[in-house]
Structures are given as structure tokens and as C-alpha cells.
């Protein structure tokens, strides 16, 4: 498996691939890989001749009091996992090369609706989505993939990338992959590593709450405020602290109307040192 630290090495390799007429699929990650990431790599193989994964803990998407320094960095173990699924190349740049003019550079990418108005993220993680759209644009410029693969676990992120790629005419197909879960229903996530054994037994309540609301919507419940409140109470009573529960139209993520058939329920909650995210989407 090839490992590129330097942007110049990556660019040279990319040119050679193009000359060979090979297509390229890209899996962006922040490392500390688990079965969710590995599923993305396996899916990526279905769409292109060659698969490249990036490992980059992007400073721009972390808030001031977030876990940038504590974020788990496990490069050697990550490479072993990637080799085992025939990932061809790893892009592992340093922050100075990705941000040559620092984090206060004048140019950034923002998808305003997602960055500012959705799902409480604007209040809980200001600047987070601007950091994601900016770094994903940089990574796309560097890697120049034909296809890029993202997890549905980060539902708003996936919607944001799809909107950005369409708005900016980026010639990249975006593939979403279903969330990989523990047997308990808990969505796999790098930050689950922050949970104690005791907290891990509480964490599945987030997914249980989503399924409760899903079932109620399928049974014809239309009092969305009451359903969001019910789920919030369920999560809080289990010992987590709800950030938000929102029942939305699946593509636009607007509040739902009777005409909407595709629904997503999004939730985030704090537990110990972790902030857990989950969602379920379905047709009614
Ligand atoms: N359980 C999962 N199933 C499928 N895809 C996932 C899962 N967890 C993460 N991904 C996807 O992997 C990609 C990289 O995510 P990232 O490296 O941030 O991992 P993470 O587990 O989401 O980490 P964190 O706990 O920091 O949110 C993203 O596209 C993300 O949606
Ligand atoms: C897409 C991403 C790699 C950008 O840093 C990150 O937000 C993630 O891991 O989901
Ligand atoms: N998986 C999303 C990356 C983040 O929370 O910063």
C-alpha cells in the first residue's frame, strides 16, 4: 500500500493514474479506523479501479474547546486495517501543507443553509461545517477522485457535500453508505472510544429513541413537537444529555409537511466525554 505525506507525491501519482486510464475512488477520514470506515473502503472498490483513503485530523472543523489534541491518532493500526481490504493508497498529509496560509486564510467554502440553520449544529459547533466543506474541497482538489464515499452516520455532512458538489460543478460522484452499528444498535464512531464500559451500556438509548419516533411516525403520529419531546425525555432518562432530536424531510432537512414522504430523524447527545450522533431515514 502506498503512503503519501507530500502533496507533490500525491499529484504525481494522480497524473500517472490518469495516463493509465484508471478511475479513482476516495474515502476521506480522520483516522482511528473502525468497521464503519472499512465498509466505506469496501464500497469504494465497487466504483473505481483504485481506492485512496485520507487520514487527516482537520483542525478547521474543531471548535476551540473541542477534542483536537485528544482525538485518537492510530496511524499504524489504521494502515493494517486498510491493507486488509486492499486499499491502494493512503494520503496522510500534515496540517502545514493542507493549510499553507494557516487557518485564518482568506478563502474558505461554506454551504450556508447547512452551516447556519440546521439541527442545532450552528449553536453547538459553530464553524464546524465550514471546516468540513473547506477541507473536503481541498482534499478533492488534491486527490481529484472520480467518486467519493461518505457515511450516512454523518447525515448532515453527506447532504452538505452533495449540495456543495452540485453547486460548484465538481465532477465527482458522491456515494452514501449505510451506518455500521454495534449489535446494541449504537452507531460505530471513533469517539465511542471515549466512553467508559458503563457509558457504553447507556449509549444505545440514542438509537432506541430514534426507532421509537420512527415507529410512531409510521403508525400515523403527526404531532412532531410531541415526538421530538418524547425522544428527548427517553434519551435524557437513559443518562445522556440530548443536544437535539429533529424529524425532518430527508433531502432538504426542512420541517416536515403532510406531503413529505421521505423522512429523516436526526439526533445528537452528550455522554461522558463523547458527543454521539445518529439518524434513521425511511419512507412513510
Ligand atoms: N458507523 C459508521 N458507518 C458508516 N460510515 C461511518 C461510520 N462512522 C463514520 N463513518 C464515516 O466515515 C467517514 C470518516 O468519519 P470520521 O473519521 O469522522 O469517523 P467517525 O467515527 O465519524 O469519527 P467521530 O467519532 O469523530 O465522528 C465519514 O464519511 C463518516 O460518515
Ligand atoms: C469528511 C471529513 C474527513 C473531513 O475532515 C470528516 O468530517 C469526517 O471524518 O467525517
Ligand atoms: N465524523 C464527523 C467529524 C467530526 O465530528 O468532526
Lowest mean pLDDT of 78-92, 103-117, 160-174, 226-240, name the range: 103-117
Ligand 1 atom at minimum distance from 149 CA: 29
Q: Residue 10: left if φ>0, alpha if ψ -120 to 50, beta else—which one?
A: alpha
Ligand closest in space to the Cα of 190? 1
pLDDT value at position 79? 98
Residue ranges around ligand 2 (CB below 6 Å): 28-30, 58, 61, 132, 135-136, 154, 157
HSE (side-chain half, CA atoms, 13 Å) at 213? 31
pLDDT value at position 53? 99
pLDDT value at position 254? 86
For the four alpha carbons of 12, 17, 21 and 22, in that order, the dihedral sign comes to negative
* Kind plus residue range of the DSSP H or E element containing 202: helix 197-202
Tell me: the pLDDT tens digits for 38-84? Answer: 999 999 999 999 999 999 999 999 998 899 999 999 999 999 999 99
- Assess: ipTM above 0.95: yes
Please say if the pLDDT value at position 248 is more than 60: yes
Tell me: the pLDDT tens digits for 215-246? Answer: 999 999 989 999 999 999 999 999 999 999 99
Q: Which position has the higher pLDDT, 147 or 259?
A: 147
pLDDT above 70 covers a percentage of the chain that reads: 96
Split at pLDDT 50, 70, 90, the class of 119 is low
Give the three-class secondary structure for 185: coil
Mean pLDDT of all residues in 179-206: 97
CA of 153 to the centre of ligand 3 (A): 10
Mean pLDDT of all residues in 97-109: 94
Ligand closest in space to the Cα of 174? 1
Tell me: the pLDDT tens digits for 251-279? Answer: 988 889 889 999 999 999 999 999 999 99
Look up residue 28 and give its three cell numbers.
476521506
CA of 233 to the centre of ligand 3 (A): 25
pLDDT value at position 114? 66
Please say if the pLDDT value at position 37 is more than 60: yes
Cα→Cα distances 107→102, 110, 162, 165, 167, Å: 11, 10, 20, 17, 17
Please say if the pLDDT value at position 189 is more than 80: yes
- Domains of the chain by start residue, with CATH: 2-177 (3.40.50.620), 190-278 (3.30.1300.10)
Please say if the pLDDT value at position 120 is more than 60: no
pLDDT above 90 covers a percentage of the chain that reads: 88
* DSSP track, 106-170: S-----HHHHHHSTTHHHHSTTHHHHHHHHHHHHHHHH--SEEEEETTSHHHHHHHHHHHHHTT-
pLDDT value at position 230? 96
Please say if the pLDDT value at position 93 is more than 90: yes
Q: Is the CB of 154 under 6 A from ligand 1?
A: yes
Q: Is the CB of 243 under 6 A from ligand 1?
A: no
Amino acid at each position: 500500500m502506498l503512503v503519501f505525506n507530500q502533496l507533490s507525491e500525491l499529484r504525481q501519482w494522480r497524473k500517472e493514474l490518469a495516463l493509465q486510464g484508471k478511475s479513482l475512488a476516495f474515502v476521506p477520514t480522520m483516522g482511528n479506523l473502525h468497521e464503519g470506515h472499512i465498509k466505506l473502503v469496501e464500497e469504494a472498490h465497487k466504483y473505481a479501479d483504485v481506492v485512496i483513503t485520507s487520514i487527516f485530523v482537520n483542525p478547521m472543523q474543531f471548535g476551540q474547546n473541542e477534542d483536537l489534541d485528544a482525538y485518537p491518532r492510530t496511524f499504524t493500526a489504521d494502515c493494517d486495517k486498510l491493507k486488509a481490504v486492499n486499499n491502494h493508497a493512503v494520503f496522510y498529509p500534515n496540517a502545514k501543507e493542507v493549510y499553507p496560509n494557516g487557518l485564518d486564510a482568506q478563502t474558505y467554502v461554506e454551504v450556508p443553509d447547512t452551516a447556519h440553520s440546521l439541527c442545532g449544529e450552528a449553536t453547538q459547533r459553530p464553524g464546524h461545517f465550514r471546516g468540513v466543506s473547506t477541507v473536503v474541497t481541498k482534499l478533492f482538489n488534491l486527490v481529484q477522485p472520480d467518486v467519493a464515499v461518505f457515511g450516512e452516520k454523518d447525515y448532515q455532512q453527506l447532504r452538505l457535500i452533495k449540495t456543495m458538489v452540485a453547486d460548484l460543478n465538481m465532477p465527482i460522484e458522491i456515494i452514501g453508505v449505510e451506518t455500521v452499528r454495534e449489535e446494541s444498535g449504537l452507531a460505530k464512531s471513533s469517539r465511542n472510544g471515549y466512553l467508559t464500559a458503563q457509558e457504553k451500556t447507556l449509549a444505545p438509548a440514542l438509537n432506541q429513541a430514534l426507532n421509537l419516533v420512527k415507529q410512531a411516525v409510521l403508525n400515523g403520529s403527526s404531532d412532531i413537537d410531541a415526538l421530538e419531546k418524547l425522544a428527548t425525555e427517553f434519551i435524557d432518562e437513559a443518562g445522556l444529555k440530548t443536544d437535539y432530536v429533529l424529524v425532518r424531510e430527508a433531502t432538504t432537512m426542512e420541517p416536515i409537511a403532510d406531503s413529505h414522504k421521505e423522512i429523516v430523524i436526526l439526533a445528537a447527545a452528550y455522554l461522558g466525554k463523547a458527543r454521539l450522533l445518529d439518524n434513521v431515514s425511511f419512507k412513510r
